[in-house]
């Protein structure tokens, strides 16, 4: 009833291709997060599913029905819009109850539901306000409430929590998850918040430039990114990338080499590859004991320190000439490395340090195509560390 | 960005000086109330000189007797006598028709509906505004759609509004002129409208028939006014609201009822308000189609007496007309007040 | 701020809008020598022909230093009246001369808004007008004091046009037509003739005229019907122009009722409850009740009618070669009772309502202008000018004698019908124009139309009318 | 929340049940209500086109029929006389009247839009004491028939109103036969409508946009003309079109405030009436003239409608 | 030139007090983050500084000038609006250059600046788009660009990055910081993103219900929250709170006791106090070695596990009856404890674990007033751990 299928769906605007040959197969009851850089086509995809934008090409199905040309009202979807779009002439109560009133629910039922929704989004007592008398976050919550009072087959939520503070966001997250379980509906959810995507979704769909890059459970995306783009996009701060090539004994680059047997991974020596390692997989040498499968030791100098409260980001210079360029987010920087350490670590700027990489967490990508070659090297267990296993197993 | 940091705002601010700038600053510093009145000043001056002053002057004319002979435009000061005469019917002799209807105690209570300028005007107003609003609404709904050739359809629908009243009158006059127009026939050879009993064979000499035809002619021309205003209102609605409504499951009708209508209501009210006002002042189309003797509207009384020239009476009728309009449109005012004022 | 008029904050409230015009100072009629332009408020036709008109003025002796500027006012007479009312009421100095409908010159006179020509022009000029012009025309340019305030420019008289070809089919001959041209027939005969022709031909209408609710009904069509039956609005010709409030109101007299019954018979047939004996009925369409001049003319010009009452302008149209040419006949309007049987002096017989226009002078104009204007008026009184303009723009010469002239007879089309026109002119009846006529006219048209339309009995309509007229009359007393 | 009826709009199986001979279309229509809607839409469009255009067709018939033959008209012209469109210019310099009307219309429209914009901003967006009373007062001006203004205005514009400024008394200038005595009364009389239109439209522009403009450095007035007015384009264009058309065809003042000549700024209606004689009425010429006279307005509407339908506010704010 | 001072500023709407007696003293060139729950008055504060809302009470100064009633254009502020507020009738170029055009900059200068700003927000090549042809994030970037082309004394930014993806957000963050340094302007910044607030700001102003709760450098707010509200608000997931009272030997509650000498902290035994401990300061007993000043060992059972990629949140039940209520965000839960562990930690649901708290990171608050009593117990260094020191020192 709530499975959503996109078959070769594209959307072209005059000179922009917003969505490009997208194939998506979302099961009934799944919670899918769409993530991707700004302008990659997430909202457009949502709008097409809702029926607000008609695809230029391709077909769409909800349940068993083809809905490609079905008007929105017959698709059984509810949507939280990125631009919120409250009805300016209705108070909060009327905004929230809009969809119910359309369906002629009886008054008590409407009232019950609205109260319940308002409670979930913590807007009790504001039901008589007009939208322009509310703060940004309050409006956004009204928009959420407006969607969740209904029981559609599919929920579409386009950055529903963008304007909420961390605490409220956590609260809303759990509420949405509970709702998801209770109603057993499909939820398609756009977010820029990694934590949201990681914690809430059954699968994450990573989109870039209108093209689907990977759709997998969160930890699979995190631990086994399908390509450079996904690897760089998922995780914050981003994965470190170093360009190099496959040597006879493994990966070799200007400052860092990582040993492995090319044959194991099925790569030809001489291939240009990019190595990726997440900041949390870089360890100070004192902690080497914690790493089951450490790499060579690497000497570096600390550059900038960014204390985040619960961790510290340390920018490491691998060569003299390196300059920490916080601005460059493209990722690939052969003489830099970002690592994260515990907040109580005794570390200062411009200090010589030695670090090791967790080889079981090293990713290799074909530089030319960006496709992943391997995730983790020479460990008995093929890929990632412990706690993800259960999530992976249901893939 | 880095290089011109100091050339920023501070500089450009200091660059602005001189009388213009200080005037701007003075204006900006005004409180909201002062600012409001400042902005209203040009309009109020124009209205004061071109409208208020003449009205005051005309009002004073209404306090004088008519004068038909001699150099003087007006007779002696009579205070409110003109008004009294008008309401008691004592002045009816000077008017193309009675002003107020004659009331009876039995149904239908009013004996001379078509012989009373007030009743004729009210009938015209109610029906023309009603139909213009409905039709204008329909037209606006159509024009609001996207379809090929809509710019031409739009021009077609709006263009009657651009027809001068003289020509509007001529068009309909000729259509309903026996032996010219095909819409009216003779007793022996009636046209369709005659057969339907909608009009007689000499409709433009009969008050009821004429009133009907004048309403039709007015609706033809003036629906465009409503359509234009309503359309503008529709076009100003944030389209994303429709997206929300569609996804929420609203049918077209529900979208209209719950979004379009409430949001264009202010425009509709303004359109209806001004249509009502000008309908209450209807004159031109009457004069060109049927004549003020046949269809005496309030404005007919004003113009006829003005041309007579009974300036005192004319001024009086004009003010009474305005008063009646004020009463009629208070319906809208109340609506507005609840929203805004 | 105070205005010249309307405020009434002094005893002399609302003087003429500020212009302290002197309407009766004599005007120097010596020829001006300096160059001067005289502005004349005319009509479109006049402006269109302005070159020819000025030429004819020059021919008639207008000096070269006076040039003429003709303002093409609206030909719609009501519009002109309203315009003049503002101009003169507002004390404007321009224009110097104004072309005024004989139907509403008197109210302007009564409001001191026109130059008193008797006082300010040489008496020869005045006496020429009084003596030589159509008397009825002159009477509509006079004030209650008997002074003259306008120079009749041209009169206008309606006549009865008919289709000789159709009447021939009914057995009438050119002899009859010749007789009819000068000797009017009675309504009884008229209706009979028309009916015969109607039966003898396949035409739609017998007789078309104008009976819409408008000034034309009260001033003219009804006035003619009534007067031809010896009736009168206010007890005969003497009281036409007043004294308002002191004259009898006679619209409910039998002769007036007869005329209404006659018209009802013409329209609704002899079965009408109030049909007039002797009249053959059913020859006029009901449509006349909402017809004015043009709609009523259309069917006649279109060949759908036998008889048609209208102004001379339509003779030119209908008598054109590509319309009826020589087949168009013209005769004076029929009569109800002969003049000698009529109760009031000057009623009965073949009456024709009087139209036409005067030239009047703006009293606010500067002396210089008045002086030049007087010379223009003088030129316009020249027979040559009048004959020229009969040809140029169809202005019927205001002097009856000129209608007999060869020159007049040579004018295209209308020249053929001068004898009928002359009869009409000599029997012209002006509308009873006074300051209250605008109010009365509306009431007359309304009530008469009601009576014609069978919506009221003639008696009822006329007694209603009488009381309304009474009220209006009294309002001035 | 959990115990609700299943999602809306997902049950359409019953449409298959009825397959009477009658209802192929109906069945399709039920399945695809868009069809019904489109059908209704076209019917309505055709209906409106017919009703609004038929009188113009009638006008064209009249124009093309030689005046002499205008009687017993049917649905086709009697005779075909396109020269009428030439004759009309020969008889009356109609283009000059059109020009006059156009100039009067544009001038008035500019003045009205300017003043009404200021007032509309004030009434639509500001709160201040006296607002309601002022709005009512301005509205009340339009209650009066134009005749109520005529005499004082005529005197004012023909130099007959004396204005005392202390000791000096000056007389108002004589502006007869100039555009001024038309433009000012038109402006004043059509102002209330535009003020009310613009008040509603300006009032609907979200505060956020004005705020943004002001923070960027505009004055309040700057924000009005740079942001609010362009965003209210449909309303402004409508007010403009309504005002222009009203002036273009106005006759009451234009008739009294000049002598009716083309070179005295008389408007188009005066031109049309020029064709008319005292008794004779060349309907064909008048019809032709009004067809020609309407053309500039049609063009204006075509131009203005681009604004009327621009619908710019979409997505202006995230709210 | 750019210091902003608010003196007893309040803003009342009809029945709502949006800002309540706010005193703020922001130095020229400072980067201040305003944080607080949705609807707490952040935007209202910004609007008052911008001059868009006139305070109901109080005075405001920018530089030396009192600006309480000064129109916005004369305040020399640029603002990124929470609701973005692009001019829909102008294309991107015109939107960005709006303020410059108003000031009659010459064409080349405008062009240069717009291009530069577009580059910063990565919108090159989109300058001719209309706002409604852009995605949510793209619009937001236009709004940022519109503010940064100008060189005002004060930047006001109301959640400028809410609709951007993590990578872009990091990029924008660094750009803004660079801009801040280069232009040396004051920046007042509203954000719901803790990382943003922590990394960018010189000081964080925490607001609740229109009242300023604390204004201090980020780590001070994190480590030494002035009261329960700040403690609970800053940090995500939120600090654990346990209600208890001061016993003779320290803090005592149902499940956890923490030893200290009440005299040291100047609290009377018997006082109701609330103890707070952040999830990252709860350690599995195997890591006890890492903690310099551990508490008693505490036995618990793991409940829900939330793997976040770079860490795992573990919900601990301290008593049998405890139920993990993800929904309850009020914070105080005497029988629960949230801890965060490294992603490779070997832990599963429903497992018996023993944990210790880092006593040097234990916070105590007066339960009645919410005011902080102490931060960290019985450690030679009075308060927080290492890396914060330098930040604190300049307070
Ligand atoms: N026009 C108004 N009328 C009444 N109340 C208002 C109005 N504007 C704002 N408020 C209220 O004032 C309070 C503060 O609003 P503000 O917009 O400053 O919140 P905020 O801190 O920006 O919240 P958010 O993070 O959700 O944007 C809110 O409770 C809001 O509902
Ligand atoms: N009406 C339009 N005309 C032209 N291009 C458009 C239009 N709408 C969207 N686009 C473009 O299509 C692309 C996808 O837009 P979309 O709104 O789907 O992005 P998004 O993934 O939601 O981004 P964001 O995270 O910023 O909201 C963007 O590059 C956008 O500029
Ligand atoms: Mg989006
Ligand atoms: Mg806010």
Which of the four pLDDT bands, split at 50, 70 and 90, describes residue B147? Answer: confident
Q: Which residue of B has its CA nearest to C113?
A: B71
Reduce the DSSP state of residue C40 to 3 states and report it: strand
Neighbours of chain D (3+ CB pairs under 8 A): A, B, C, E
- Residue whose entry in the numeric block shows the structure tokens 């509810």: A78
At residue E18, the pLDDT reads 92
Q: Contact D196/B273, CB-based, under 8 Å?
A: yes
Topology given in CATH for the domain delimited by D84-317: MetI-like fold (1.10.3720)
At residue B272, the pLDDT reads 92
Q: Contact D155/C72, CB-based, under 8 Å?
A: no
The C-alpha angle C448, C454, C460, rounded to 5 degrees, equals 60
With both helix axes pointing from N to C terminus, report the angle between B311-339 and D147-157 in degrees, rounded to the nearest 10.
110
Q: Which of E10, E41, E189 to mutate to test the pocket of ligand 1 (most atoms within 8 A of CB)?
A: E41
Digit-coded pLDDT (tens) for A201-214: 899 999 999 999 99
Residue C453 touches chain B, beta carbons under 8 Å: yes
At residue E203, the pLDDT reads 94
Question: Can you list the alpha helix ranges (DSSP code H) found in C213-344?
Answer: 215-216, 222-228, 254-268, 293-301, 312-318
Which of the four pLDDT bands, split at 50, 70 and 90, describes residue E321? Answer: low
- Report DSSP state, residue C452: H
Q: Which chain A residues have a beta carbon less than 8 Å from that of D318?
A: 82-84, 136
pTM for the predicted model, two decimal places:
0.88
Ligand nearest to C-alpha A81: 3
Beta strands D168-171; E4-12: pairing state: unpaired
Q: Which residues, numbered 229 to 268 in chain C, qualify as contacts with chain B under a Cβ-Cβ cut-off of 8 Å?
A: none
**Domain E4-226 homologous superfamily, CATH:** P-loop containing nucleotide triphosphate hydrolases (3.40.50.300)
- Residue whose entry in the numeric block shows the structure tokens 């990713």: A363
- d(CA D47, nearest CA chain C) in Å: 31
Q: Which chain B residues have a beta carbon less than 8 Å from that of C438?
A: 304, 307-308
Tokens found for residue B125? 């107003």
With a 6 Å cutoff on the Cβ, whether E91 touches ligand 2 is no
Contact C419, C181 (CB under 8 A): yes
At residue B176, the pLDDT reads 87
**Average pLDDT of the segment spanning E284-302:** 83
Alpha carbons C360 and C337: distance in angstroms, whole number: 36
Alpha carbons D49 and D47: distance in angstroms, whole number: 5
Residue A324 clears pLDDT 70, i.e. is over it = no
Alpha carbons B139 and B160: distance in angstroms, whole number: 13
Nearest Cβ partner for E170 among A237, A279, A391: A237
Residue D303 touches chain B, beta carbons under 8 Å: no
Q: Which chain D residues have a beta carbon less than 8 Å from that of A136?
A: 318-319
Nearest Cβ partner for C286 among B61, B67, B186: B186
DSSP string spanning A125-156? T-TT--GGGS-HHHHHHHHHHHHHTS--SEEE
The answer to whether the complex's ipTM is over 0.90 is: no
Digit-coded pLDDT (tens) for E56-106: 999 999 988 889 888 888 888 999 999 888 998 889 999 999 999 988 899
At residue B62, the pLDDT reads 92
Total number of domains in chain B: 1
Alpha carbons A298 and C48: distance in angstroms, whole number: 107
At residue D31, the pLDDT reads 65
**Closest C-alpha among D289, D243, C42, C442 to residue B287:** C442
- The answer to whether residue B290 sits within a structural domain is yes
Digit-coded pLDDT (tens) for D92-136: 889 999 999 999 999 999 999 999 999 999 999 998 999 989 999
For chain A, the straight-line distance linking the first and the last C-alpha, in angstroms and rounded, comes to 22
Q: Which chain A residues have a beta carbon less than 8 Å from that of D4?
A: 151
Of all helices (H) and strands (E), which one includes residue B79?
A: none
With a 6 Å cutoff on the Cβ, whether A383 touches ligand 2 is no
Best mutation target among D126, D204, D213, D215 (most E Cβ atoms within 10 Å) is D215
Which range marks the domain in which residue B265 is found?
Answer: 108-308
Ligand 1 site, CB within 6 A: A 133-138, 163; E 13, 16, 18, 36, 38-44, 82
At residue E332, the pLDDT reads 65
Distance in Å, CA E41 to ligand 1 centroid: 6
**Average pLDDT of the segment spanning E18-26:** 92
**Average pLDDT of the segment spanning C41-45:** 85
Alpha carbons D10 and D7: distance in angstroms, whole number: 7
Tokens found for residue C101? 């409908």
For chain B, the straight-line distance linking the first and the last C-alpha, in angstroms and rounded, comes to 47
Topology given in CATH for the domain delimited by A237-375: OB fold (Dihydrolipoamide Acetyltransferase, E2P) (2.40.50)
At residue D165, the pLDDT reads 66
Q: Whose CA is nearest to atom 19 of ligand 1?
A: E39
Alpha carbons C39 and B327: distance in angstroms, whole number: 48
- Highest mean pLDDT: which of A13-22, D5-14, D278-287, E323-332? A13-22
Q: Contact B5/E151, CB-based, under 8 Å?
A: yes
Q: Which residues, numbered 55 to 94 in chain D, qualify as contacts with chain C under a Cβ-Cβ cut-off of 8 Å?
A: 68-72, 91-92
At residue C461, the pLDDT reads 93
For chain C, the straight-line distance linking the first and the last C-alpha, in angstroms and rounded, comes to 34
- Residue whose entry in the numeric block shows the structure tokens 């009281």: C239
- The answer to whether residue B299 sits within a structural domain is yes
Distance in Å, CA E141 to ligand 2 centroid: 13
Alpha carbons E233 and E226: distance in angstroms, whole number: 11
DSSP string spanning E247-298? ETTEEE-SS-EEE--HHHHT--TT-EEEEEE-GGGEEEGGGGGG-SSEEEEE
Close Cβ partners of E275 (under 8 Å, ≥ 6 residues apart) = E241, E242, E244, E251, E253, E256, E258, E362, E363, E364, E365
Tokens found for residue A157? 């939520």
Alpha carbons D133 and D115: distance in angstroms, whole number: 18
Backbone angles phi, psi at D122, to 5 degrees: -60, -50
Close Cβ partners of B75 (under 8 Å, ≥ 6 residues apart) = B64, B65, B66, B67, B312
Domain with B245 in it: what CATH number? 1.10.3720.10
Close Cβ partners of A328 (under 8 Å, ≥ 6 residues apart) = none
Residue C450 clears pLDDT 60, i.e. is over it = yes
Q: Contact B177/C290, CB-based, under 8 Å?
A: yes
Close Cβ partners of E229 (under 8 Å, ≥ 6 residues apart) = E206, E208, E213, E370
Q: Contact E307/A198, CB-based, under 8 Å?
A: yes
Q: In what order do the strands lie in the sheet with A272-277?
A: A257-259, A250-252, A240-247, A272-277, A363-366, A372-375
Alpha carbons A24 and A9: distance in angstroms, whole number: 9
Tokens found for residue B170? 């001529």
Q: Which residue of E has its CA nearest to A281?
A: E310
Digit-coded pLDDT (tens) for A212-223: 999 999 989 998
With a 6 Å cutoff on the Cβ, whether E128 touches ligand 2 is no
Three-state SS across chain D? CCCCCCCCCCCCHHHHCCCCCCCHHHHHHHHCHHHHHHHHHHHHHHHHHHHHHHHHHHHHHHHHCCHHHCCCCCCCCCCCCCCHHHHHHHHCCHHHHHHHHHHHHHHHHHHHHHHHHHHHHHHHHCCCCCHHHHHHHHHHHCCCCCHHHHHHHHHHHECCEEEEECCEEEECCECCCCCHHHHHHHHHHHHHHHHHHHHHHHHHCCHHHHHHHHHHCCCHHHHHHHHHHHHCHHHHHHHHHHHHHHHHCCCHHHHHCCCCCHHHCCCHHHHHHHCCCCCCCCHHHHHHHHHHHHHHHHHHHHHHHHHHCCCCCCCCCCC
At residue B159, the pLDDT reads 87
Q: Which chain A residues have a beta carbon less than 8 Å from that of E158?
A: 136
- The answer to whether residue B40 sits within a structural domain is no
Q: Give the percent of chain A with pLDDT over 90.
A: 35
Which of the four pLDDT bands, split at 50, 70 and 90, describes residue C19? Answer: very low
Q: Average per-residue pLDDT in chain C? A: 87
**Average pLDDT of the segment spanning C74-89:** 84
Backbone angles phi, psi at C95, to 5 degrees: -80, 175
Tokens found for residue A317? 């210079």
Distance in Å, CA A93 to ligand 1 centroid: 17
**Average pLDDT of the segment spanning D202-217:** 88
Digit-coded pLDDT (tens) for C283-309: 999 889 989 888 899 889 988 899 999
Cα B80 to the center of its chain, rounded Å: 28
CA-A40 nearest atom, ligand 2: 21
Return the higher-pLDDT residue of C469 and D25.
Answer: C469
Kindly list the residues of chain A whose beta carbon comes within 8 Å of any beta carbon in chain D. Answer: 1, 63, 71, 73-76, 82-86, 88, 99, 103, 113, 116-117, 131-132, 136, 139, 148-153, 179, 182-183, 185
Reduce the DSSP state of residue C208 to 3 states and report it: strand
The C-alpha angle B54, B60, B64, rounded to 5 degrees, equals 135
**Closest C-alpha among C291, C332, C312 to residue C420:** C332
User: Where do the structural domains in chain A lie, given as residue ranges?
Assistant: 4-226, 237-375
Q: Give the percent of chain B with pLDDT over 90.
A: 28
Backbone angles phi, psi at C310, to 5 degrees: -165, 175
Residue C378 clears pLDDT 80, i.e. is over it = yes
Cα D136 to the center of its chain, rounded Å: 23
Tokens found for residue B328? 């009629």
Nearest Cβ partner for B72 among C14, C287, C472: C14
Distance in Å, CA A205 to ligand 2 centroid: 17
Q: Which residue of E has its CA nearest to A230?
A: E167
Digit-coded pLDDT (tens) for B179-189: 787 787 777 77
**Closest C-alpha among D103, D93, D108, D109 to residue D270:** D93
Residue D48 touches chain B, beta carbons under 8 Å: yes
Kindly list the residues of chain E whose beta carbon comes within 8 Å of any beta carbon in chain D. Answer: 47, 50-52, 71-73, 77-79, 81-89, 98-99, 102-103, 131-132, 136, 139, 146, 150, 156
Close Cβ partners of C262 (under 8 Å, ≥ 6 residues apart) = C187, C225, C229, C276, C279, C336
Q: Which residue of E has its CA nearest to D315?
A: E132
- The answer to whether residue B254 sits within a structural domain is yes
At residue A389, the pLDDT reads 37
**Residues facing residue E276 across a β-bridge:** E241, E363
Nearest Cβ partner for B8 among E69, E71, E150: E150
Alpha carbons E321 and E317: distance in angstroms, whole number: 8
At residue A387, the pLDDT reads 39
With a 6 Å cutoff on the Cβ, whether A110 touches ligand 2 is no
Alpha carbons B286 and B305: distance in angstroms, whole number: 16
At residue E311, the pLDDT reads 81
Neighbours of chain C (3+ CB pairs under 8 A): B, D
Residue E7 clears pLDDT 90, i.e. is over it = yes
Nearest Cβ partner for E199 among A308, A386, A391: A308
Q: Contact B302/D298, CB-based, under 8 Å?
A: no
Digit-coded pLDDT (tens) for D86-101: 888 988 889 999 999 9
Query: CA dist C72 to C43, C391, D270, E40, Å?
Result: 4, 20, 11, 76
- d(CA A59, nearest CA chain E) in Å: 23
Residue D164 touches chain C, beta carbons under 8 Å: yes
Q: Which residue of A has its CA nearest to D3?
A: A183
Contact A114, A149 (CB under 8 A): yes
Residue B134 clears pLDDT 70, i.e. is over it = yes
Question: Residue A282: which region, alpha, beta or left (left: phi > 0; alpha: psi -120 to 50)?
Answer: beta
Digit-coded pLDDT (tens) for D166-179: 677 777 778 888 88
User: Would the CA dihedral through C116, C119, C121, C123 be positive or negative?
Assistant: positive
Q: Which chain A residues have a beta carbon less than 8 Å from that of B259?
A: 87
Q: Which residue of A has its CA nearest to B244?
A: A85
Residue B1 touches chain E, beta carbons under 8 Å: yes
Tokens found for residue A278? 């997440």
Digit-coded pLDDT (tens) for A231-265: 988 887 788 898 888 888 888 888 888 888 887 77
């Amino acid at each position: 009833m709530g499975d959503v299928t996109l078959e070769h769906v594209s959307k072209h605007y005059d000179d922009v291709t917003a969505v490009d040959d997208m194939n998506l197969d979302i099961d009934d009851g799944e919670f899918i997060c769409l993530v991707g850089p700004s302008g990659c086509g997430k909202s457009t995809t949502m709008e097409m599913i809702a029926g607000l934008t008609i695809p230029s090409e391709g077909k769409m199905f909800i349940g068993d029905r083809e809905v490609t040309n079905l008007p929105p009202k017959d698709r059984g979807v509810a949507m939280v819009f990125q631009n919120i779009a409250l009805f300016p002439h209705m108070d909060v109560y009327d905004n929230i109850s809009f969809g119910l009133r359309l369906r002629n629910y009886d008054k008590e039922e409407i009232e019950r539901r609205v109260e319940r929704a308002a409670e979930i989004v913590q807007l009790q007592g504001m039901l008589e306000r007009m939208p322009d008398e509310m703060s940004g976050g309050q409006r956004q919550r009204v928009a959420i409430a407006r969607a969740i009072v209904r029981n559609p087959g599919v929920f579409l939520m386009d950055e529903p929590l963008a304007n909420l503070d961390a605490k409220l966001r956590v609260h809303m997250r759990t509420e949405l998850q509970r709702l998801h379980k209770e109603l057993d509906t499909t939820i398609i959810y756009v977010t820029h918040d990694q934590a949201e995507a990681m914690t809430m979704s059954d699968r994450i769909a990573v989109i870039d430039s209108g093209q689907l890059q990977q759709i997998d459970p969160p930890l699979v995306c995190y631990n086994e990114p399908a390509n450079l783009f996904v690897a760089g996009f998922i995780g914050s701060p981003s994965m470190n990338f170093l360009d190099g090539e496959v040597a006879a004994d493994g990966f070799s680059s200007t400052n860092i080499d990582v040993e492995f047997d090319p044959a194991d991974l099925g790569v030809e020596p001489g291939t240009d590859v990019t190595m990726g390692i997440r900041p949390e997989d870089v360890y100070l040498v004192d902690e080497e004991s914690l790493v089951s499968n450490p790499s060579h030791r690497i000497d570096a100098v600390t550059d900038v320190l960014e204390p985040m409260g619960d961790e510290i980001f340390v920018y490491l210079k691998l060569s003299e000439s390196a300059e920490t360029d916080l601005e460059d987010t493209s990722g690939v920087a052969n003489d830099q490395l970002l690592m994260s350490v515990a907040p109580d670590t005794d570390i200062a700027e411009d200090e010589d340090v030695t670090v090791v990489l967790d080889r079981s967490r090293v990713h290799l990508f074909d530089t030319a195509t960006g496709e992943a070659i391997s995730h983790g090297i020479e460990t008995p267990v093929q890929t990632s560390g412990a706690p993800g296993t259960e999530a992976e197993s249901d893939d | 960005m880095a290089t011109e940091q100091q050339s920023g705002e501070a500089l450009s601010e200091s660059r602005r000086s001189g009388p213009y700038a200080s005037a701007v600053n003075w204006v900006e510093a005004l409180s909201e109330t002062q600012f409001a009145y400042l902005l209203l000043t040009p309009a109020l001056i124009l209205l004061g000189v071109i409208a208020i002053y003449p009205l005051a002057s005309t009002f004073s004319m209404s306090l004088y007797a008519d004068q038909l002979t001699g150099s003087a435009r007006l007779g002696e000061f009579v205070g409110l006598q003109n008004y009294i005469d008008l309401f008691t019917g004592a002045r009816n002799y000077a008017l193309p028709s009675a002003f107020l209807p004659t009331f009876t105690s039995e149904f239908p209570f009013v004996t001379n509906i078509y012989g009373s300028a007030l009743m004729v005007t009210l009938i015209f107003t109610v029906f023309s505004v009603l139909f213009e609003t409905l039709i204008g609404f329909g037209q606006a709904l159509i024009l609001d759609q996207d379809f090929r050739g809509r710019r031409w359809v739009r021009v077609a629908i709006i263009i009657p509004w651009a027809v001068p009243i003289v020509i509007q009158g001529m068009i309909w006059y000729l259509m309903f002129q026996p032996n010219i127009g095909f819409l009216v026939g003779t007793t022996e050879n009636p046209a369709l409208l005659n057969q339907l009993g909608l009009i007689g064979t000499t409709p433009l000499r009969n008050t009821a028939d004429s009133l009907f035809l004048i309403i039709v002619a007015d609706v033809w021309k003036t629906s465009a006014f409503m359509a234009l205003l309503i359309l503008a209102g529709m076009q100003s609605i944030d389209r994303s609201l429709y997206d929300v409504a569609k996804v929420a499951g609203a049918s077209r009708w529900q979208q209209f009822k719950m979004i379009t209508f409430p949001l264009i209501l202010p425009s509709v009210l303004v359109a209806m308000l001004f249509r009502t006002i000008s309908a209450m002042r209807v004159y031109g189309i009457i004069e060109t189609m049927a004549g003020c003797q046949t269809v005496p509207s309030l404005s007919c009384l004003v113009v006829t007496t003005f041309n007579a020239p009974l300036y005192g009476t004319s001024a009086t009728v004009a003010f009474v007309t305005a008063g009646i309009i004020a009463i009629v449109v208070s319906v809208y005012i109340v609506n507005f007040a609840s929203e805004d004022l | 701020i105070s205005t010249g008029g309307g405020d009434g904050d002094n005893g002399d409230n609302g003087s003429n809008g500020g212009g302290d015009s002197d309407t009766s100072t004599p005007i120097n009629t010596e020829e001006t020598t300096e160059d001067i332009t005289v502005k004349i408020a005319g009509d479109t036709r006049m402006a269109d022909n302005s070159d020819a008109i000025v030429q004819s003025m020059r021919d008639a002796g207008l000096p070269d230093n006076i040039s003429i500027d003709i303002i093409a006012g609206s030909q719609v007479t009501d519009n002109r009246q309203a315009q003049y009312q503002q101009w003169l009421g507002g004390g404007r100095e321009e224009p110097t001369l104004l072309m005024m409908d004989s139907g509403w010159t008197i109210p302007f006179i009564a409001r001191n808004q026109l130059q008193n020509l008797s006082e300010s022009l040489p008496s020869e000029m005045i006496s020429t007008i009084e003596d030589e012009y159509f008397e009825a025309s002159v009477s509509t340019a006079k004030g209650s004091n008997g002074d003259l305030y306008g120079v009749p420019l041209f009169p206008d008289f309606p006549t009865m046009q008919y289709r000789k070809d159709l009447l021939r089919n009914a057995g009438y001959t050119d002899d009859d037509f010749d007789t009819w041209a000068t000797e009017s027939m009675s309504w009884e005969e008229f209706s009979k003739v028309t009916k015969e022709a109607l039966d003898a031909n396949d035409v739609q209408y017998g007789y078309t005229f104008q009976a819409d609710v408008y000034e034309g009904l009260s001033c003219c069509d009804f006035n003619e019907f009534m007067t031809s039956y010896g009736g009168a609005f206010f007890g005969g010709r003497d009281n036409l122009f007043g004294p308002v409030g002191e004259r009898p109101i006679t619209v409910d007299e039998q002769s007036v009722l007869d005329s209404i019954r006659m018209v009802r018979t013409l329209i609704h047939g002899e079965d009408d409850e109030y049909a007039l004996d002797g009249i053959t009925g059913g020859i006029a369409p009901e449509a006349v009740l909402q017809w004015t001049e043009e709609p009523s003319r259309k069917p006649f010009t279109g060949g759908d009618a036998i008889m048609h009452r209208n102004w001379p302008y339509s003779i030119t149209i209908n008598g054109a070669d590509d319309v009826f040419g020589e087949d168009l006949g013209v005769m004076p309007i029929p009569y109800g009772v002969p003049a000698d049987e009529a109760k009031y002096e000057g009623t009965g017989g073949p009456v024709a309502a009087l139209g036409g226009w005067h030239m009047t002078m703006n009293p606010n104009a500067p002396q210089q202008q008045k002086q030049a204007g007087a010379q223009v008026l003088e030129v316009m009184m020249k027979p040559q000018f009048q004959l020229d303009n009969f040809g140029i723009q169809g202005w019927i010469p205001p002097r009856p004698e000129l209608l007999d002239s060869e020159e007049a007879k040579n004018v295209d089309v209308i020249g053929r019908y001068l004898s009928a026109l002359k009869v009409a002119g000599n029997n012209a009846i002006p509308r009873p124009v006074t300051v209250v006529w605008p109010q009365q006219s509306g009431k007359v048209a309304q009530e008469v139309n009601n009576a014609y339309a069978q919506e009221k009995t003639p008696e009822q309509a006329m007694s209603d009318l009488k009381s309304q007229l009474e009220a209006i009359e009294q309002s001035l007393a | 929340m959990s115990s609700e009826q299943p999602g809306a709009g997902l049950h359409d199986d019953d449409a298959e049940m009825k397959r009477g001979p009658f209802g192929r279309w109906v069945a399709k229509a039920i399945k695809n209500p868009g069809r019904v809607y489109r059908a209704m839409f076209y019917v309505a469009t055709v209906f409106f086109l017919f009703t609004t255009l038929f009188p113009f067709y009638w006008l064209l018939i009249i124009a093309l029929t030689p005046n002499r033959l205008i009687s017993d008209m049917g649905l086709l012209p009697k005779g075909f006389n396109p020269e009428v469109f030439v004759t009309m210019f020969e008889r009356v310099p109609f283009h000059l009247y059109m020009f006059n009307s156009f100039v009067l219309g544009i001038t008035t429209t500019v003045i009205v839009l300017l003043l009404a914009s200021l007032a509309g901003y004030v009434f639509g967006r500001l709160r201040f004491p006296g607002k309601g009373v002022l709005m009512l007062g301005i509205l009340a001006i339009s209650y009066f028939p134009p005749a109520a203004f005529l005499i004082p205005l005529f005197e004012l514009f023909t130099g007959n109103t004396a204005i005392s400024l202390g000791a000096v008394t000056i007389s108002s200038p004589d502006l007869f036969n100039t555009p001024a005595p038309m433009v000012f009364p038109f402006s004043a009389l059509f102002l209330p409508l535009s003020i009310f239109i613009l008040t509603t439209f300006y009032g609907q522009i979200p505060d956020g946009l004005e705020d943004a403009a002001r923070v960027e450095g505009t004055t309040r007035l700057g924000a009005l003309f740079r942001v609010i007015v362009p965003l209210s384009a449909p309303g402004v264009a409508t007010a403009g079109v309504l005002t222009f058309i009203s002036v273009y065809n106005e006759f009451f003042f234009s008739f009294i405030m000049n002598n009716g000549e083309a070179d005295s700024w008389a408007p188009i209606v005066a031109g049309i009436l020029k064709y008319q004689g005292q008794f004779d009425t060349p309907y064909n010429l008048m019809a032709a003239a009004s067809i020609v006279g309407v053309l500039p307005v049609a063009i204006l509407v075509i131009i203005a409608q681009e604004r009327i339908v621009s619908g710019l506010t979409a997505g202006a704010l995230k709210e």
